[in-house]
């Protein structure tokens, strides 16, 4: 997929999230006040905060298309992972805020305000809307390998849990006359949300620390190089991702009696073979060495012996 197409889809998904959250926030806050439900108002405020997260993804989608410069020679693609970090803090704050509010309610012994019947319908609409939005963002994010869209999709999924806690609270308060269970349930939801935020935070560390999730990519690289006649002993293989694209560096050995132009041709064939074997390649750097060359101070990268 071309960068322009990927960016266009991310921007479209971000606008969908902004508009959907704005509509839900307006609906829940207004109905919450009319129905006398502070719980629904709080849920609406949470949806309003989701507008901010969606605006972050919208801004980042435009940022990652900026061309490389002296300060960022590889471009701005990793802004995707940085934005996911920021989103993880927003999600964690929402969960922590819910936890603090719930704990205070348990200590004080207060009960949640029961929404009017028409407020219940709004909560159900919110759950359905957030489920659809979560599915859309997660599906789009996984297809584009966009961590920030995936993070935002998980945030929408957490909102479903929050809205569900509002409904559960209504059930326990009205039917079972046990409002304390509502608070306990809300506390469990808050823990789930904070854990999800922590998972998002940790997952983005892989890209920011120049790692890869799919360790099988090294086997694919070695197999691709083995297909090239005259390329021997692939070693010091280093792979990292910048957004959804692979950056590959590898050392190969060639016959020391070859001309420079012939060794260069082999390196080009290695690049071509790697691009045919890997999806979404940003850059490939092939370093050519004479066959049998040994450099004891080479300590980084992966070799054939490291592949299980």
Whole-angstrom Cα distance, residue 145 to residue 140?
8
pLDDT over 90 at 251, yes or no: yes
Candidate CATH numbers 1.10.10.10, 3.50.50.60, 1.20.1510.10, 3.30.70.100; the one for domain 3-208: 1.20.1510.10
pLDDT over 80 at 134, yes or no: yes
CATH topology of domain 217-306: Alpha-Beta Plaits (3.30.70)
How crowded is residue 204: how many other Cβ atoms within 10 Å of its Cβ? 24
How is residue 231 written in tokens? 């390329």
Using one digit for the tens of pLDDT, what is the confidence trace for 177-227? 666 666 677 677 778 778 878 888 888 888 888 888 888 899 999 999 999
Whole-angstrom Cα distance, residue 133 to residue 287?
46
Boundaries of every domain in the chain: 3-208, 217-306
**pLDDT number for residue 91:** 78
Whole-angstrom Cα distance, residue 1 to residue 256?
39
Give me the helix-helix angle, 147-174 and 79-108, nearest 10°: 20
Spatial CA neighbour of 163 closest among 49, 52, 42: 42
Average pLDDT estimate for 261-279: 93
Spatial CA neighbour of 220 closest among 205, 234, 241: 234
Q: Minimum mean pLDDT among 30-44, 102-116, 262-276, 287-301: which range?
A: 102-116
3-state SS class at 266: helix
Task: Give yes or no for a contact between 106 and 169, defined as CB atoms under 8 angstroms apart.
Answer: no
In Å, what is the CA distance from 7 to each residue of 2, 4, 38, 59, 195?
9, 5, 39, 11, 29
pLDDT over 60 at 1, yes or no: no
Using one digit for the tens of pLDDT, what is the confidence trace for 43-83? 776 777 778 778 888 888 888 878 888 998 888 888 888 88
**pLDDT number for residue 41:** 67
């Amino acid at each position: 997929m071309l960068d322009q197409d990927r960016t266009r889809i991310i921007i479209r998904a971000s606008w969908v999230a902004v508009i959907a959250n704005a509509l839900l926030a307006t609906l829940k806050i207004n109905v919450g006040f009319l129905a006398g439900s502070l719980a629904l108002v709080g849920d609406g405020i949470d949806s309003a905060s989701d507008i901010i997260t969606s605006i972050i993804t919208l801004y980042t989608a435009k940022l990652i298309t900026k061309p490389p410069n002296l300060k960022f020679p590889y471009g701005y693609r990793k802004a995707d992972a940085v934005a996911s970090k920021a989103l993880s803090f927003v999600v964690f704050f929402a969960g922590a805020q819910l936890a603090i509010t719930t704990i205070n309610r348990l200590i004080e012994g207060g009960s949640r305000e029961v929404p009017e019947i028409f407020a219940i319908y709004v909560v159900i609409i919110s759950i359905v809307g957030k489920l659809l939005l979560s599915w859309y963002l997660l599906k789009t994010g996984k297809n584009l390998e966009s961590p920030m869209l995936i993070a935002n999709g998980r945030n929408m999924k957490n909102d479903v849990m929050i809205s569900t806690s509002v409904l559960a609270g209504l059930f326990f308060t009205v039917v079972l006359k046990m409002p304390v269970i509502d608070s306990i349930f809300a506390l469990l939801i808050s823990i789930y949300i904070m854990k999800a935020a922590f998972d998002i935070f940790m997952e983005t560390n892989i890209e920011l620390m120049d790692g890869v999730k799919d360790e099988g990519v090294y086997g694919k690289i070695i197999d691709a190089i083995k297909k090239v006649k005259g390329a021997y002993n692939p070693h010091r293989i280093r792979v990292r991702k910048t957004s959804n694209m692979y950056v590959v560096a590898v050392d190969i050995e060639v016959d020391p009696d070859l001309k420079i132009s012939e060794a260069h041709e082999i390196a080009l064939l290695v690049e071509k073979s790697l691009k045919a074997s890997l999806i979404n390649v940003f850059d490939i750097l092939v370093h050519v060495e004479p066959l049998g060359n040994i450099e004891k101070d080479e300590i980084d990268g992966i070799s054939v012996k490291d592949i299980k």
